[in-house]
Amino acid sequence: MPDLPLELLILLPLALAAGLDLYLTLLVLGVAPMTPWWDPPLPGALSDLDGPAIVIVLGILYLAELAAERFEASALAWNATHAWIRPLSGALLGVLLLHGQSPALVLLGAAASGAVASLAHAVRSGAGVIRRLDPSPVPDMVLFSLLEDAVVLGLVAAALDAPLVAVAASAMVVLAGVPRSRSRIRAFLFVTRLAMARLFRPLEQRSWIDGERLPAWVRAELTADVMAPGGGLRGSPAAVLRGPGLPLFATGWIVIRGDSPVFVHGRYLGGARAAELGGLEALAVVEHAFFRALDLRERRGRPVRIFFFVDGPSPEGLAAEFLVSQPPVRPSDRPTRLAGTAEKNL
């Protein structure tokens, strides 16, 4: 069996690093030939990245990403935009890396590199979304950012100097990201939809959706529901974080019936399922720039949070349906802590 080309061997580490932090990856590749620690030419056409103008632009974009990640609205918009930039950039990175190989290998490598970069970005961004949105206290986000940068630096340095070590390290990073990866990808896709809805439907107030206009799979799950006589249902697309009996982050529909609300989810995971929400204590409705959040609490005291689109039910409507006693909290008057729930800046 012929030996694999060096460029193909380091494709996975570089694509994974680009998915975790695109601009730091490209910046390190561009700066490497300028340092005394790297003498050989970069593989493929990666040496095209070492131009001073390119390095300056990459440095500016890296700093812009650091700044964007510190604030709620900018972090959400930045990561949602990069849902499209990451796969394209990953594919272009593969093309540069495999320059000079056969066209079929370049095409295959570009597709694989784009897919790896896209998935890595989704899992990484989804994990960050969950940490930021989690009503439970979490460590400082700066620590996670520094850890991600250290992983990226290690992967790129190993890819240039010790390809086999880079491949092994990449496999370890992938294995570490597998647990809860579905919840993280769901969280990333959901906040991307939030950003798109906020951008393209800023003035639309949809409120609750009548039962006959609910998706067929939601209606089918509730067909035999005796608490909704005559089909008197209304609902809204939503996501639930840390719901009892649910995945860490689940997306679906909140449906209001004659009795307690229910969350219908799992359309693509072996059939829809309904989870009762009646046993949760509603604490507050909080309105953010890109979504509305309903804070609840289990009997054991563990916090639960439900997210709605800004063009979904109004804050007053949510408070009425879930029997929230205090008025909705707006961004201008939101305290640091609300009813025992940590409110953090995304």
Best mean pLDDT range from 73-77, 236-240, 243-247, 329-333:
236-240
Band of residue 139 on the pLDDT scale cut at 50, 70, 90 = low
- Going by the DSSP 8-state scheme, the letter that residue 329 receives in this structure is B
Are 84 and 22 contained in the same domain?
Answer: yes
Expressed as residue numbers, the domain containing 241 is 203-342
* Residue of 153, 164, 150 whose CA lies nearest to 28: 153
Q: Which helix (H) or strand (E) holds 126?
A: helix 103-133
Q: Are residues 121 and 225 in the same domain?
A: no
- Whether residues 289 and 215 fall in one domain: yes
Q: What is the count of structural domains for the chain?
A: 2
Same domain, 175 and 307: no
Q: Is 276 helix (H, G, I), strand (E, B) or coil?
A: strand
Last residue of a domain, one of 189, 222, 243: 189
Residues 223 and 177 in one domain: no
Domain end (from 137, 164, 189): 189
pLDDT given for residue 330 in this prediction: 61
| CATH code where residue 324 lies | 2.30.29
> Is the confidence at residue 52, as pLDDT, over 70?
yes
Both 214 and 149 in a single domain?
A: no
215 shares a domain with 180: no
Which of these three, 147, 162, 189, is where a domain ends?
189
Whether residue 213 sits in one domain with residue 174: no
What's residue 151's pLDDT? 94
The per-residue pLDDT of the chain, averaged, comes to 83
- Note the helical H segments in 178-302: 181-200, 216-221
**Percent with pLDDT over 70 in the chain:** 85
Amino acid identity, position 215: P
Query: Quick one: average pLDDT of 5-30?
Result: 92
Q: For residue 161, give both structure tokens.
A: 């100097």
Q: Say if CB 255 and CB 158 are below 8 A apart.
A: no
Task: Indicate if the pLDDT at residue 334 is higher than 50.
Answer: no
Q: Considering the domain boundaries, does residue 287 fall inside one?
A: yes
Give 124's contacts (C-beta < 8 A, 6+ positions apart).
Answer: 19, 20, 148, 177, 184
194 occurs within a structural domain: no
Gap between the Cα atoms of 230 and 233, Å rounded: 9
Q: What is the pLDDT of residue 345?
A: 31
Tell whether the model's pLDDT for residue 20 goes beyond 90.
yes
Q: Model confidence over 293-321: pLDDT tens digits?
A: 999 998 888 899 999 988 888 888 888 88
